[in-house]
Chain A
Amino acid sequence: MIQIQNLKKSFRTEEVETLALNNVNMNIASGEFAAIMGPSGCGKSTLLNIIGMLDNPTEGSYQFAGHEVGGLKERQRTQLRKGNLGFVFQSFNLIDELTVYENVELPLIYLKMNKAERREKVKVVLERMKIAHREKHFPQQLSGGQQQRVAISRAVVTNPKLILADEPTGNLDSKNGIEVMNLLTELNQEGTTIVMVTHSDRDSHYAHRVINLFDGQIVTESQNRAMGAML
């Protein structure tokens, strides 16, 4: 599903140029659950953003489902992203002014789905994420774990092929963290590809494969079959 070759990303600020990613090569197959790990500042988020088409690489090639997306315009990236990709962030990134229901509904609106259909889909997802009883609440009225469940609902409501999660448990306690990881695993078992950035050893064990990043380069990759099979 994802093929990345010789990918480079540099940021130019006023004084310095930072090379955040340096010659990254990786493939992620459809249905895979991959974890990206590494020390702070090594480029994990940058890589995830590029995979999520929120940002363009400076150099190299990135093919998503056979399409080269490296040099696409903002508008085209938005088009490709819609419905195909779901995002989960460490800080949830819910819109404070919208209710739980409306937050989850948002991606469907941009897919121009009609109201009845949207209602149906949102209901199903909220039930499944066990947050339906809170649909009229605003994000600020929820706990961190609940908020992250809303964010995951929003990520999966479009039935995306790929979910990108950047430290999804970073702001949660272990109980809530485990709950989120179980949800992701479930989704993966249903066929959704998942790429997750994490600092946590525990979380990385849920993935099939761990990609270790250091200073913008992939240093090691390890398979985790046993663990995956165990669950």
Chain B
Amino acid sequence: MPKVFGQNMRIMLKNHLKIALRFFLRNKLFTGINVLGLSIGITAFILLISYIGFEKSYDSFIPNVDNLYRVTLTTNLGGNGFATSATNHPMAGPAMLSDFPEVESYTRIADKPMAFSGTMNISYTNTLGDEIKSDAIDDYIYFADNAIIDMFDIQFIQGDAATALDEPITVILTEKIAHRFFGNEDPINKMIEINDNFKLKVTGVFKDRPENTHLPMGMIVSYNIFGQDGDHANSWVWPEFYNYVKLKPGTDPKVVEAKFPAFVKKYLGNIMNEHGFEAKFALQPVKDIHLKSHLLKEISPNNSEGTLYFLLIVAGFIIAIAMINFINLSTAKSMERAKEVGLKKVVGAPRSVLIHQFLFESLIINFFAVIISFVLINLLIPSFNSLVGIDVLNFGMWGKWQVWLAMLGIFLIGGILAGLYPAFVLSSFVPIEVLRGKFHKTTKGNILQKTLVVAQFVISIALIAGTYIVYNQFSYMQNQDLGFNAEQNLVFSAPTYADSTTQQKIESFKRELIQNPKINNVALSDEIPGKPIIQGNTIRQVHERRELGVNANFVIIDQDFIKTYGIKRLAGRDFVKEDASSLYTREGAVPSGHRVVINRSAAKNLGFSDPEAAIDQKMIFKFGPIDRTAQIIGVVEDHHQQSLQKGYDPIVFMHFESYGASFVTVNITGDNIRGTMGQIEAKFKEFFPNDLFNSFFIDDYFNRQYRAESKFGTICLVFSMLAIFIAALGLFGLGSHMAMQKTKEISIRKVMGATVAQALAIIPRKLLSLVLLSGAIALPIIYFVTKKWLEKYAFKIDLSVSMFLIPLLLVLVVAALSILSQSFKTAMVNPAESLRNE
């Protein structure tokens, strides 16, 4: 003990400690419930807060992130109102650098499909002749200008950061990927191949990127790879490129944004006039992307601030519930300690000493709780990381002073806050009243206790109802009929286009597969369900004016696709092989004899009254900048191309002669699926030995869209349950106290002739009114919050009365059980016994 404490203080503390420990030992249930509740509460709080902190930290490791912006594009192309996309024209960045003095540098970033249609195989053959392949998706491959290195703080280990991506056709990669390709060889100047015909020279190796970035990078290929592909990638006609700019330090982004209207007019004016649309540019701070951006064509899935606020509220609730327990139980216990307090006062203890004593006890309990939660957090790190799906926590967290500060803060604030009220109540007892036995008549403590219990009920009901509704919506989305056959459809990447024989090879590959009695159908396509469709443009009936075109998505399929996916035909017919048209005639002219199948939404948007009406009608679609005409040969039912959060896409299915497939879908039947998969893979290897075979089932793929949702749902569920558990714990403790308080009343009633059940009935009646009051507060709030939340889903459940009544009943049952289990004991006791002690 430090010197600053006087002799007196020391004796007093010793005395406090002695009384506290004896009191805890004598009241094991009380102490146990408090420590358990608080430690679970603190653990949950710290875990959630760390997760929230992690999500908030996205991209903040980049030194000049405050000056980094993404240039977004808002257009009303297609006449369906304005929509904003994360991508922009590839000339936006360069033009901004030359026109705006505030811009220091820019980089354009292109995703894989911009460079390679169809499949992209990356491989390296080492000195021993082994071929090492890579997965283009898992390796986060992008195409970008050299300035990306400086702007995003890519830290070079080898190579020249200033020029690495300026040389023609080069690539830089992370340490991890470099090691996989090259082992211990020196990566610099090694050649990596794409689809066996592009060669990339390795000019740099950089440190693995942190997890908390909206732009995870594995391999970056120089932007000049597009140079060989005409000038689309340096034009104002292909708005599919991410443009990032770095502004000079101290620049107000509003100054730059103010110049955009004139800038857009200068570069896009002609095209806007010609095609009758409007475009707007805006600057989006990079550090806001992960939590605030929900644009079209996001580079990676983002989280939402709303989710984090929700979790923050849950975290606050959990710790609040734990503290309410503590306050309630301590205040309740105070009745039993009145005698101790009264006597201490009689022998001359001043009130301040008594307050100190009770605060001290509160701090001790909180101290135990903090110690236990320290252990719990360490035990839970792996489970929590797998729950949220990112390595948010590691043991290194204890090296951060913020974490210790948080723990210390919880300990002190919790201990003092939760201890203060009981301390004042306890120390305010007037000795004479205590001796007269009138102290428990003060209604003040009772009202506070009731308010706190109601608060707990409100929180519990709100959490249960909220979780229940969220869960209902998620399970609704996952069990809805998707409009296509999601089962037993195996998908794998189509072979890359090697030469003119590829088309024939794939035809015979299909033919051989179909020989297999366990294979029903095989289809080729450039898109599959569960993936946002990349291609799209406006369509219209032939007699409509150009400005009245409506948006539609284009999916290129073969004659077996609609069969394979079991998409329902509404009118007309499916494709046959002969319907295939070519995109260009041999002379280079634009043919017009296309035939298309459209879905219900597209037919409706085109203005056809019913599907039949569309059959054999002509429509115009823009493919690239050019208008083409097509005949509608069939209309099919809408299917869910994306998660049920999104509405149905209007789709035009096209069937071309030239090979452009990205995916092969095989519909399998019967048992021994593994065996059939093996046969398919063997056949693929036989036909296309140079291609990677990576397959998945379409239902798994489709459900990947719900990952964020189900993750969020599980987190909510776990932590709501914890909150409810802590609340039940408190009710249990309070129940035992209430039962004790009611002992006399129950006994008297029994003497007056009440049965056990009748005597017990007094408790639920009081409880019922509290729960109903809480429901009246919680449910309207939850109704509005969930209604608002559901608005972002195109397909959603209807809120029903049962969704609100079930949580109410659940809380009632839990509360009644925790309290009745205690009172029952009292009611069973002989009344003579309990009245004897009066």
Contacts and interface: CB of A to CB of B under 8 A. Distances in A.
Interface string A88-109: 0101011111000000001100
B670 interface: no
Contacts of B744: 93, 95
B338 to A, nearest CB: 16
B745 interface: yes
B441 A140 contact: yes
B832 A106 contact: no
Contacts of A154: 752
B753 A111 contact: yes
Interface in B785-838: 830-832, 835-836, 838
Given A49-B832, A95-B745, A54 B753 contact: no
Contacts of A54: 751, 830-832
A62 interface: no
B754 interface: yes
Interface string B733-777: 000000000001100111111111010000000000000000000
A75 B755 CA distance: 7
A93 to B, nearest CB: 5
B776 to A, nearest CB: 24
Contacts of B438: 140
Nearest to B835: A93
A97 B756 CA distance: 19
Interface in A71-123: 74-75, 78, 81-83, 87, 89, 91, 93-97, 106-107, 110-111
A45 interface: yes
Interface string B418-451: 0000000000000000000010010000000000
Nearest to B762: A97
Nearest to B744: A93
Interface string B697-735: 000000000000000000000000000000000000000
Nearest to B747: A93
A107 B835 CA distance: 17
Interface string A24-68: 000000000000000000000100010000110000000000000
Nearest to B751: A87
Interface in B587-620: none
A89 B835 contact: yes
A74 B758 CA distance: 14
Nearest to B766: A97
A106 B744 CA distance: 15
Nearest to A98: B745
Given A89-B835, A93-B744, A95-B745, A82 B830 contact: no
Given A91-B838, A97-B745, A107 B831 contact: no
A169 to B, nearest CB: 17
Contacts of A111: 753
Contacts of B756: 74
A93 B830 CA distance: 15
A107 B749 CA distance: 8
Nearest to B745: A95
A154 B748 CA distance: 11
A165 to B, nearest CB: 13
Contact of B753 (A45, A78, A91, A93): A78
Contact of A110 (B752, B832, B835): B752
Contact of A93 (B441, B758, B838): B838
B753 A83 contact: yes
A93 B832 CA distance: 12
Chain A interface helix/strand/loop/mixed: mixed
Interface residues of A, number: 24
Contacts of B838: 91, 93
Contacts of A45: 836
B753 A82 contact: yes
A84 to B, nearest CB: 10
Nearest to A83: B753
Contacts of A96: 441, 745
A164 to B, nearest CB: 10
Nearest to A138: B441
A82 B755 CA distance: 10
Most buried by A among B745, B749, B753, B756: B753
A90 to B, nearest CB: 9
Contacts of A106: 749, 752
B748 A78 contact: no
Given A54-B830, A93-B838, A78 B745 contact: no
A107 B752 contact: yes
Nearest to A54: B832
Contacts of B755: 75, 78
Contacts of A49: 832
Contacts of A93: 744, 748, 751, 835, 838
Given A93-B838, A140-B438, A110 B753 contact: yes
A86 to B, nearest CB: 9
Interface in A200-222: none
B745 A110 contact: no
A99 to B, nearest CB: 14
A159 B836 CA distance: 26
A49 B830 CA distance: 10
Contacts of B745: 95-97
Contacts of A110: 749, 752-754, 758
Nearest to A87: B751
Nearest to A81: B753
A143 to B, nearest CB: 13
Most buried by A among B752, B758, B830: B752
A134 to B, nearest CB: 18
Interface string B288-326: 000000000000000000000000000000000000000
Nearest to A140: B441
Nearest to B838: A91
A78 B750 contact: yes
Contacts of B832: 49, 54-55
A120 to B, nearest CB: 19
B404 to A, nearest CB: 48
Interface string B131-162: 00000000000000000000000000000000
Nearest to A111: B753
Nearest to B755: A78
A42 to B, nearest CB: 15
A95 B441 contact: no
A107 B753 contact: yes
B763 to A, nearest CB: 12
Given A78-B755, A96-B441, A55 B830 contact: yes
A75 B832 CA distance: 15
A203 B831 CA distance: 27
Contacts of A75: 755
A89 B755 CA distance: 21
A127 B303 CA distance: 75
A93 B744 CA distance: 8
A106 B758 CA distance: 12
A107 B748 CA distance: 10
A28 B294 CA distance: 90
A107 B754 CA distance: 8
A82 B438 CA distance: 31
A197 to B, nearest CB: 13
A45 B751 CA distance: 15
Contacts of B749: 95, 106, 110
Nearest to B748: A93
Most buried by B among A45, A54, A106: A54
B584 to A, nearest CB: 92
A6 B835 CA distance: 26
Given A49-B832, A55-B832, 5 more contacts: A74-B830, A91-B838, A93-B835, A96-B441, A154-B752
12 contacts: A45-B836, A54-B830, A54-B832, A74-B830, A83-B753, A93-B748, A94-B748, A96-B441, A97-B745, A106-B752, A107-B752, A110-B758
Closest 7 CB pairs of A and B: A82-B753, A110-B753, A54-B832, A49-B832, A107-B752, A55-B832, A106-B752
Interface of B: 438, 441, 744-745, 748-756, 758, 830-832, 835-836, 838
